[in-house]
Structure 1
Amino acid sequence: MFDVDIKFEDICVNNIEEEDLRELREILRDKKFYLNDDELREIYLECYMSECEIFTKILKKGKFIGVFRGRIEFKSSNMIWISYFYINNKYSLKKSNQDILMNILDYFSHNFGVCDFITGVTNSEKDMIDMWKNNDFRTVRINKEFYSDKDYKEDLMIMKKYNSI
């Protein structure tokens, strides 16, 4: 797992540890894509074993309030693919969520030369789309029916923030 240690104001963003999984599961319980214990542990182990995976907990005054997950790629233009960013609604305010996200992105820009940040959002997640747009992410592609089975079809919007340095 890529080592992350971010501190600002009363927020800390650090790597998820195995003992954090139970608490992570609790704050994700009401989410659309809920994961059971085995699925969450499998994701943790995949991230733990990969040097470019980012899997962090977000703490406010020591309290577990959210998660940031992604993958860093060092290429001609260093980038991070953000697979998950979530702040528990109990602790979230629009402005503080944006501050947390921007501090995370700034950390990777300034410390590791990351220029591009990319994420995928389903078209039904209007609040998340607005949050990414408010942080200067722009839609670069739409994958039609990316999530699809006989009863469910949903597009995936790929959004990108350019030249963050």
Structure 2
Amino acid sequence: MLDMEFNWQNINIANIRKKDVKIIQNWLYQQSEFCEEDIYPIEIDKLYDRFLEYYISENEFFTKIQYEGKLIGILKGRVEFKNPAEAWVWCIMLDYKYRSLGIGSNIINEVNKYLTREYGVANFYTTIIKESPRTIKFLKKNGYKIIRVSKNYYDIDGKQMDMLILKK
């Protein structure tokens, strides 16, 4: 696991621990009706598997985002120590009550600053399903640009969907 823990204003971003997995599962279930993609229900075994994958990998991060001690989001990704180092964000999810307030933008920018300062990350990437217009708008607003489209990359319930790769 790649260690990540810092505070920014009243927000704490810290590594997820085993004791957090059930709390995160319950939180994700509460968020399900506000998601663009149909990724629910999340089985605890699958979430725990994602936790273990991150926990045993030296380059992956899986963090909880807390505001005044309350879970308001999660962030998962990986740092590749190339020349220059790059970070891939696989998932960022913010509680629906905190969306459209600028908090998500501040979080992603603070995480980028942290990864640059602590691990020398120069380039930031993410992937998204093309059929996620709100998320694409959010990423573009935060300086990400589409650099590649992989046609029919995903097969979700028999429906082919394009994957976008974005870079900042």
Scaled to the shorter chain, the TM-score interval is over 0.9
Match status 1:51 vs 2:58: yes
Q: 1:147 to 1:11 in 2, by over 3 A?
A: same
Q: 1:20 to 1:143 in 2, by over 3 A?
A: same
What's 2:142 paired with? 135
- Measured against aligned partners, the alpha-carbon deviations of 1:100-121 in whole angstroms (never above 9, x if no partner) come to 1111111111221100111001
Pick aligned residue for 1:64 from 71, 82, 91: 71
What's 2:11 paired with? 11
* Structure 1, gaps ≥5 residues long: none
Q: Distance in 2 between matches of 1:13 and 1:45?
A: 19
* Structure 2, gaps ≥5 residues long: none
What's 2:129 paired with? 122
- Measured against aligned partners, the alpha-carbon deviations of 1:51-95 in whole angstroms (never above 9, x if no partner) come to 101000000000001001001111111001110001010233341
Match status 1:153 vs 2:160: yes
Shift of 1:149: 5.7
Paired residues in the alignment total 161
Pick aligned residue for 1:89 from 88, 96, 120: 96
Q: 1:149 to 1:36 in 2, by over 3 A?
A: closer
What's 2:39 paired with? 33
Q: Distance in 2 between matches of 1:17 and 1:117?
A: 25
My pick for the range that moved more, 10-19 or 90-99, is: 90-99
Q: Distance in 2 between matches of 1:13 and 1:150?
A: 34
Q: 1:16 to 1:150 in 2, by over 3 A?
A: closer
What's 1:20 paired with? 20
Q: Distance in 2 between matches of 1:119 and 1:59?
A: 22
Q: 1:144 to 1:90 in 2, by over 3 A?
A: same
Q: TM-score, normalised by structure 1?
A: 0.93
Give the share of equivalent positions with the same residue, in percent: 30
| RMSD of aligned alpha carbons | 1.3
Q: TM-score, normalised by structure 2?
A: 0.91
My pick for the range that moved more, 84-93 or 120-129, is: 84-93
Letter in 1 for 2:16: I
Q: Distance in 1 between matches of 2:3 and 2:95?
A: 23
